[in-house]
Structure 1
Amino acid sequence: MSVDRSTDGESSPASTKVDEEKALAETTTNALPNVAVGESTEIFGQFSVWRELANCGVELRGVEPVPESERTDTRYLNVGTWLGASMLNLLPLTTGIVGTLDYGMSLRDCFLVIFFFSFTTAIPPCYMMTISPRTGLRQMVQARYSFGYYPNSVPLLLNMCSVMGFTMISAVVGGQCLVAVSDNSLSTNSGIAIIAIISMILTIAGYKIMHVFLRYAWIPSIVSIIIAVGVGGKHLKQQAAVEPVTAQTVITFASLIAGYMIPFAGTLGDYVVYMPPNAPRLRIFLYAWLGICIPSVTLMTLGAAIGATVSVTPSWSDAYNLNSIGGVMSAMLQPAGGFGKFVTLILALSVISNTAPSVYSLSLNFQVLAPGLYRIPRIIHVIISTGILIGVGIGAAEKFINSLESFLGVISYWSAGFVGIQLVEWLVFRHRDPATYDQSIWNDKSLLPSGIPALISLILPFAIVVPSMDQVWYVGPIAAKTGDLGFEFALVITPFIYYPLRKLEMKYFRNGRL
């Protein structure tokens, strides 16, 4: 920056003021290493409370792009421990139990579907995760480079519903465990609130501190699960008799598994955005893929075993009817007495390793949702997200299993189309070049794409997706004959619509520009 000088060689009053303001800005930025240079810094950076939080390691940066100079996190194994801890809790049990208890499948058939479709459908979101260290963009900010400024609100809202739904399920399960530990002296509503508030405290800390917590959080979780299986495992061999599985049932349950895995595409990039551009992509992919799949497959299979046992084990059936999964886990540990209650408490708190990262991504999504929201610190959005979580979780606790089936099934459809659009944009139009994601235009609606091709491509396939749905509340004519194929249609059809529309936009409306 040029500075005007007076004729006698001294700085003019105006230039002195400019220099003082520049020095103050530099000092503030240095004191707040986790805050992006932007309006949120200018508004809140002068308050001592924010400086103190930053000095304690709390992440104050929001959705603003992370410059290359700040992408220095080389603890790549954290990707695996973060996701492993996030999945190593009671949430996957709820998906597995649906296969045997609700769909009437055998444990063997459930395991085969869980194993194959989990490892397969987790590949796209884990691959997309490897892009974020190269661009420095949060996952749903990166989506603006295909969906544009305003149309991006559509997948953003859907992603927020997905994240909130999974978080709600985890909070309900954790709350039910707390109720079981208290011998029903604590209400489910209070249990949900306790889980949500603890998650909020951890989420406020942000990226660095959450990584430290999740690096070790999986240890007590896996020990507790092993103890639970060891104490109550003798009942797991008492499997209910089932009819031979049909292809339609297999396809529908596979869609449920896809609905569990594919929505990670909207959040995984948030957890690696501070890693350097030259981070080993294969290692990050493998850490993410194995970190998600190994605990998920293991616990979904355990859930399927529990589901096949509940109907023929009266004590478990009563506990399940009273407190769902939380009640069953408490019943499994009942022979261990007081120690069993302690282990149940650990299992209840294990869901925090899932709810905290989810609220983290949800708070970031809020910042992108509407113009100007990114100026409000992420911490404020965390508090708002927690309030929503408590309210929605309490309202959904009464019809938990039905809500789970409907929710996990429906979200797979939009997320499959979203994945197809993002991969075509990255692989075909941008030729895997991170430089084409210009950080300087992330919030400029005039320079970003219009988003119309992406929005049309996301919506139009639902003309065939809807008849292919097989849900509790609706079974389409195609699904009635084949099983739920909505996920497959959304994933396959969307790219073929997006490619020609995006080409037309670039040629006729953007002068060849991306």
Structure 2
Amino acid sequence: MATNLKHPSDGISTSMKSDTEKGIPEPASQELSAIHEESTEIFGQLSIWRKMANYGVELRGVQPVPVEERTDTRYLNVGTWLGASMMCLLPLKSGILGTLSYGMNLRDTFLVCFFFSFLTAIPPCYMITMSPRTGMRQMIQARYSFGYYPNIVPVILNMCSIMGFTMISAVVGGQCLVAMSNNSISTSSGIVIISLISMVITMTGYKIMHLILRYAWMPSLVAIIICVGVGGKHLKDQAPTEPPKASTIISFASLIAGYMLPFGSTLGDYAVYMPPSAPRLRLFLYAWLGICIPSVVLMTLGAAIGATVLVVPEWSDAYDLNSIGGVMDAMLRPAGGFGRFVTLILALSVIANTAPSVYSFSLNFQILIPGFHRIPRIVHVIVSTAILIGVGIGAAEKFTESLEGFLGVISYWAAGFVGIQLTEWIVFRHKDPETYDASIWNNSKLLPSGIAALVALIVPFVIVIPSMDQIWYVGPIAKTTGDLGFEFALVITPFIYYPLRKLEIGKFRGGRL
């Protein structure tokens, strides 16, 4: 199998030379050549892309990154990118569900959040070590198991997952803005503000976003500490609870898995410009700790807030009016005008989560329909933001119900996807990045058929569906055990995929992967 990486701009070296002679940096020139080849017929003028590239804006879309362009050695950026993404109000809402919706006490909620966060984050964080070696975005790598057209199915599921999380963050941030303004603006307006700021940041791409997120967690952390310091005196007032049933703990654990496992379809997007020699253990640890530490701490704070909301009337009224945004504003109200400023910082903290999410969503847009990769990533960012605004405004009306149903369901497909990708990488490709021939990334005839992966993803739902415990459906197995859907998907999927993929390789592909 050929393993030479083919640059998207091969065959137009004359143009590249011309650009270099004009003073354009070599990496920018290479990116411009790729864009020139694939989208000049749509946009006509190259000057605007040249100017953007010179200012560090990423123009590359989903095309594999050649080895010579994988030069980012700031490995800690993986941790700061993910740490900033999680150092916001999003994890608070997940923690609140443990005490407010599942009726668990603070201790039990913390234990579930701690153990299942660190456990279920391991597979996605391991997967981030693959992209520097292959030079491919996460869902492009998936084509080497799901094939060209069947891969559209996990792409759609992934886009739904990404948009769900982005919507939750945008709604929470919008609610904070509403509370800060004394309800002088609507939640819809708050969502639009958060989304538009995110869009501007997302347009800059990989390099500038890494720079922004390297420091974005700092004001968020300070704001959360101030919030707890000002209003934390009530956190000791916890509503009494009954000891949770095992089924309740298992169902809440599935919700936490739904928070962590979907990272397996996006993390590689944030490390694709790092060299093949990138230290894999360090990348794993940076990603693992960057996700888990802020998430667990803020989930625990959210659990404490959820238990307090039940017994402190002021917080209860604020939660009923503006959800978590209202509670944060109520906690900071004793600080007066300064408290309002801190509430604003908390509202804007979600942008560190929504911007990377829109980044990955826009990349998935490029492989949703054949030929979409020719449209520059920035155009997809604009479309993605429009979708976010529409979905966020619609979901804000029934926010808690939307969140519970969403987080539980996405863990099922995400677990199966992770199982397939790890089986392909470890078992069939023996962790050899050269088996991912970058020259065929967009060739439906040379990529696998994808039948084995698609069947392995779908068939486990025969047992997953009876094991679901959702607000809109409780399966017969789940009535006794709690939600075991993601566990079954994670365990069963590889056992189905292995024999089917082996048959495909041996009988239909002549031994070729």
Q: Give the TM interval when normalised to the shorter protein.
A: over 0.9
CA deviations 1:180-227 (Å, max 9, x no partner) are 111000100000000000000000000000000000000000000000
Q: Between the two proteins, what is the percent identity of the paired residues?
A: 76
Deviation at 1:22, TM superposition (A): 4.7
Query: Which residue type is aligned with residue 217 of structure 1?
Result: A
Deviation at 1:452, TM superposition (A): 0.2
Query: Which residue type is aligned with residue 102 of structure 1?
Result: S
Deviation at 1:47, TM superposition (A): 1.6
Aligned mates of 1:76, 1:22 — CA distance in 2:
31
Aligned mates of 1:459, 1:153 — CA distance in 2:
14
Aligned mates of 2:437, 2:60 — CA distance in 1:
19
- The reply to whether residue 37 of structure 1 matches residue 6 of structure 2 is no
Using the TM superposition, name which of 45-54 and 448-457 deviates more.
45-54
Aligned to 1:100: 99
Aligned mates of 1:189, 1:37 — CA distance in 2:
38
Once the two structures are superposed, the pairs formed by residues 9-408 of structure 1 within 5 Å of their partners are 22-28=13-19, 30=26, 31-35=28-32, 37=34, 39-40=37-38, 42-43=40-41, 46-408=45-407
- The reply to whether residue 496 of structure 1 matches residue 487 of structure 2 is no
Deviation at 1:34, TM superposition (A): 3.9
Q: Does structure 2 conserve the Cα–Cα contact (< 8 Å) formed by 1:157 and 1:369?
A: yes
Distance 1:448 1:88, change over 3 A: same
Aligned mates of 2:30, 2:169 — CA distance in 1:
32
Distance 1:126 1:36, change over 3 A: farther
Counting matched residue pairs gives 495
Aligned mates of 2:206, 2:47 — CA distance in 1:
21
Q: Does structure 1 conserve the Cα–Cα contact (< 8 Å) formed by 2:118 and 2:292?
A: yes
Deviation at 1:24, TM superposition (A): 2.5
CA deviations 1:87-126 (Å, max 9, x no partner) are 0000000100000000000000000000000000000000
Deviation at 1:36, TM superposition (A): 6.6
Aligned mates of 1:163, 1:74 — CA distance in 2:
27
Deviation at 1:135, TM superposition (A): 0.0
Aligned mates of 2:17, 2:477 — CA distance in 1:
62
Q: Does structure 1 conserve the Cα–Cα contact (< 8 Å) formed by 2:40 and 2:46?
A: no
Query: Which residue type is aligned with residue 40 of structure 1?
Result: E
Q: Does structure 2 conserve the Cα–Cα contact (< 8 Å) formed by 1:92 and 1:296?
A: yes
Aligned mates of 1:46, 1:384 — CA distance in 2:
21
Deviation at 1:28, TM superposition (A): 4.2
Alignment RMSD = 1.3
CA deviations 1:465-491 (Å, max 9, x no partner) are 000000000000000000000000000
Aligned mates of 2:258, 2:468 — CA distance in 1:
12
CA deviations 1:427-465 (Å, max 9, x no partner) are 000000000000000000000000000000000000000
Q: Does structure 1 conserve the Cα–Cα contact (< 8 Å) formed by 2:176 and 2:326?
A: yes
Deviation at 1:45, TM superposition (A): 8.1
Query: Which residue type is aligned with residue 511 of structure 1?
Result: G
Query: Which residue type is aligned with residue 34 of structure 2?
Result: V
Aligned to 1:12: none
Distance 1:346 1:101, change over 3 A: same
Q: Does structure 1 conserve the Cα–Cα contact (< 8 Å) formed by 2:16 and 2:33?
A: no
TM-score of the aligned structures, taking structure 1 as reference length: 0.95
Q: Does structure 2 conserve the Cα–Cα contact (< 8 Å) formed by 1:99 and 1:304?
A: yes
Structure 2 residues without counterparts, runs of 5 or longer: 1-10, 21-25
Deviation at 1:46, TM superposition (A): 4.9
Aligned mates of 1:33, 1:337 — CA distance in 2:
53
Aligned mates of 2:510, 2:363 — CA distance in 1:
33
Deviation at 1:129, TM superposition (A): 0.6
What secondary structure is seen at the aligned counterpart in 2 of 1:320?
helix
Aligned mates of 2:367, 2:181 — CA distance in 1:
40
Q: Does structure 2 conserve the Cα–Cα contact (< 8 Å) formed by 1:442 and 1:448?
A: yes
Aligned mates of 1:133, 1:402 — CA distance in 2:
38
CA deviations 1:15-44 (Å, max 9, x no partner) are xxxxx9752243348454545736436545
Distance 1:111 1:22, change over 3 A: closer
Query: Which residue type is aligned with residue 170 of structure 2?
Result: A
Aligned mates of 1:228, 1:434 — CA distance in 2:
46
Query: Which residue type is aligned with residue 204 of structure 1?
Result: M
Aligned mates of 1:292, 1:33 — CA distance in 2:
33
Aligned mates of 2:413, 2:149 — CA distance in 1:
18
Q: Does structure 2 conserve the Cα–Cα contact (< 8 Å) formed by 1:28 and 1:46?
A: no
Distance 1:35 1:47, change over 3 A: closer
CA deviations 1:138-174 (Å, max 9, x no partner) are 0000000000000000000000000000000000000
Q: Does structure 1 conserve the Cα–Cα contact (< 8 Å) formed by 2:254 and 2:411?
A: yes
Query: Which residue type is aligned with residue 290 of structure 2?
Result: G
Aligned mates of 1:155, 1:256 — CA distance in 2:
20
Aligned mates of 1:73, 1:36 — CA distance in 2:
21
Aligned mates of 2:485, 2:289 — CA distance in 1:
26
Distance 1:36 1:483, change over 3 A: farther
Q: Does structure 1 conserve the Cα–Cα contact (< 8 Å) formed by 2:412 and 2:486?
A: yes
Q: Does structure 2 conserve the Cα–Cα contact (< 8 Å) formed by 1:32 and 1:45?
A: no
Aligned mates of 2:290, 2:353 — CA distance in 1:
13
Aligned mates of 1:32, 1:337 — CA distance in 2:
52
What secondary structure is seen at the aligned counterpart in 1 of 2:367?
helix
What secondary structure is seen at the aligned counterpart in 1 of 2:236?
coil
Aligned mates of 1:157, 1:41 — CA distance in 2:
24
Q: Does structure 1 conserve the Cα–Cα contact (< 8 Å) formed by 2:70 and 2:135?
A: yes
Q: Does structure 2 conserve the Cα–Cα contact (< 8 Å) formed by 1:32 and 1:55?
A: no
Q: Does structure 2 conserve the Cα–Cα contact (< 8 Å) formed by 1:419 and 1:491?
A: yes
Aligned mates of 2:390, 2:438 — CA distance in 1:
36
Aligned mates of 1:344, 1:74 — CA distance in 2:
35
Aligned to 1:14: none
Aligned to 1:460: 459
Q: Does structure 1 conserve the Cα–Cα contact (< 8 Å) formed by 2:56 and 2:204?
A: yes
Aligned to 2:426: 427
Aligned mates of 1:356, 1:212 — CA distance in 2:
13
Query: Which residue type is aligned with residue 263 of structure 2?
Result: F
Deviation at 1:78, TM superposition (A): 0.4
Aligned mates of 2:259, 2:32 — CA distance in 1:
33
Distance 1:90 1:35, change over 3 A: farther
CA deviations 1:72-95 (Å, max 9, x no partner) are 000000000000000000000010
Distance 1:122 1:35, change over 3 A: farther
User: Whose radius of gyration is greater, 1 or 2?
Assistant: 1
What secondary structure is seen at the aligned counterpart in 2 of 1:75?
coil
Aligned mates of 2:129, 2:506 — CA distance in 1:
29
Distance 1:483 1:356, change over 3 A: same
Q: Does structure 1 conserve the Cα–Cα contact (< 8 Å) formed by 2:15 and 2:33?
A: no
Distance 1:439 1:42, change over 3 A: farther
Aligned mates of 1:284, 1:230 — CA distance in 2:
34
Aligned to 1:513: 512
